[in-house]
Amino acid sequence: MTSAIDNKPQAIHPHKFTLWVAMGSIVMMFAGLTSAYIVKKNQSNWLEFNLPIIFWYSTGIILLSSLTIQMAAKSFKAREMGRYRTLITLTAVLGLVFLAMQVWGFMDLESRDIALIGSKSNSAASFLLVITGLHMLHVLGGVIAILIIFARAYTSRVKNYSSLPIEMAATYWHFVDVLWIYLFIFYNWIG
């Protein structure tokens, strides 16, 4: 007895494809910005300064949040809804903590008289603000998506067990995590 094996490749879901295209565009934007940073750094008026120590802690927070969203996705697929709700809540909270820590880092720079904008600013600090600020906006977008998933986890009357939303949120969240790691390494050792 023989059986026919379907060798057709699995089609990627259109929403996932769109997400991957968007992430590719974001990568190109940050590649351009970090390239401009390197070019501008070679000018004589570039200000050298250390990143705020809180950026180190925020890096740990975003790494931890990547772990919690991965565990949330795994819990959702295992239908452990209580654990899923807890982990998705924790991920959203960690995302907000990351954003708050980034803002505190900018406040630390300002307290050290490193102006980020305005007539007293230096392009080094302004580049840091623009690049990191854009990353923060992307993290905020991820937090909003997670909060929507969070709201659905607590309010949905219809039990929809499609894992697509959490898979996409996890993919995007890992992406902004890796993007921050790249930026953090870039700021400290490359740029």
177 found inside a domain: yes
pLDDT in tens, 17-67: 999 999 999 999 999 999 999 999 988 788 888 999 999 999 999 999 999
Percent of the chain topping pLDDT 90? 65
Quick one: pLDDT at residue 186? Answer: 94
Q: Return the CATH number at 67.
A: 1.20.120.80
- Is there a domain that residue 131 lies in? yes
Residue 160 has pLDDT above 70, yes or no: no
Identify the domain containing residue 161 by its residue range: 55-190
Q: Is residue 16 part of a domain?
A: no
Which tens digit of pLDDT belongs to each residue from 53-107? 999 999 999 999 999 999 999 999 998 989 999 999 999 999 999 999 999 999 9
pLDDT band at 159 (very low <50, low <70, confident <90, very high): low
Residue 102, burial from CB neighbour count under 10 angstroms (0-12, 13-18, 19+): buried
Asked if the model's pLDDT at residue 144 lies above 80, the reply is yes
Quick check: is 163 in a domain? yes
- Round to the nearest angstrom and report the end-to-end CA distance of the chain: 63
The number of domains in the chain is 1
Confidence (pTM): 0.88
pLDDT for the residue 6: 57
Q: What is the mean pLDDT of residues 162-182?
A: 94
- Whether the pLDDT of residue 156 is over 70: the answer is no
Contacts from 141-146 at CB under 8 Å and sequence distance 24+?
141/172, 142/95, 142/169, 142/172, 142/173, 142/176, 143/92, 143/95, 143/96, 143/99, 145/169, 145/172, 146/69, 146/88, 146/91, 146/92, 146/95, 146/173
Is 76 among the domain residues? yes
Across the range 145-156, mean pLDDT stands at 83
Determine the pLDDT at residue 13: 84
Q: Return the pLDDT at 83.
A: 94
**Domain-embedded: residue 37:** no
Share of the chain above pLDDT 70, in %: 92
Mean pLDDT taken over the chain: 90
Residue 32, domain member (yes or no): no
Q: Angle 81-111/54-77 helices, nearest 10 degrees? A: 170
CB 136 within 8 A of CB 35: no
